[in-house]
Amino acid sequence: MPERRTVALVTLGCARNEVDSEELAGRLAADGWDLVEDAAEADVAVVNTCGFVEAAKKDSVDALLEANDLKDHGRTQAVVAVGCMAERYGKELAEALPEADGVLGFDDYADISDRLQTILSGGVHASHTPRDRRKLLPISPAERQGAGEAGKVALPGHAQDTPPADLPDGLAPASGPRAPLRRRLGSNPVASVKLASGCDRRCSFCAIPSFRGSFISRRPSDVLGETRWLAEQGVKEIMLVSENNTSYGKDLGDIRLLETLLPELAAVDGLERVRVSYLQPAEMRPGLIDVLTSTEKIAPYFDLSFQHSAPGVLRAMRRFGDTDRFLELLDQIRAKAPQAGARSNFIVGFPGETEEDVAELERFLAGARLDAIGVFGYSDEDGTEAATYDDKLDPEVVAERLERVSRLAEELTAQRAEERLGETMEVLVDRVDEEDGVLGRAAHQAPETDGQVMIRTDRTFAPGSMVVAKVVATEGVDLVAEPLGGEGCTEEARR
pLDDT (tens digit per residue) in 335-385: 999 999 999 999 999 999 999 999 999 999 999 999 999 999 999 998 999
Architecture of the 423-483 domain: Beta Barrel (2.40)
Mean pLDDT value across the chain = 89
Instruction: Give the span between the Cα atoms of 225 and 176, in whole angstroms.
Output: 9
For residue 307, pLDDT beyond 90: yes
Which CATH fold topology does 6-131 show?
A: Rossmann fold (3.40.50)
Q: Distance from CA of residue 228 to its chain's centroid?
A: 20
Give the residues across from 375 on adjacent strands. 346
Residue 156 has a CB neighbour count (10 Å cut-off) of: 24
Query: Residue 427 to residues 250, 371, 407, 441, 456: CA-CA distances in angstroms?
Result: 34, 16, 28, 5, 12
**Could you report how far apart the first and last alpha carbons of the chain are, in Å?**
62
pTM for the whole structure: 0.90
Give the residues across from 274 on adjacent strands. 238, 298
Over residues 237-253, the pLDDT tens digits come to 999 999 999 999 999 99
Annotated binding site: 14, 50, 84, 199, 203, 206
The DSSP call for residue 226 is H
Residue ranges of domains in the chain: 6-131, 144-158+179-419, 423-483
Coil/strand/helix, residue 81: strand
Percent of the chain having pLDDT more than 90? 70
β-pairing, 6-11 vs 44-49, is: parallel
Architecture of the 144-158+179-419 domain: Alpha-Beta Horseshoe (3.80)
Beta strands in 400-462 (DSSP E): 424-433, 437-441, 453-455
Sequence-ordered alpha helix ranges (H) in 90-140:
91-96, 112-120
Average of per-residue pLDDT across 259-272 = 97
The DSSP call for residue 454 is E
Average of per-residue pLDDT across 6-32 = 91
For residue 490, pLDDT beyond 70: no
Over residues 428-473, the pLDDT tens digits come to 999 998 788 899 999 999 998 899 999 999 888 999 999 999 999 9
Annotated binding site for [4Fe-4S] cluster: 14, 50, 84, 199, 203, 206
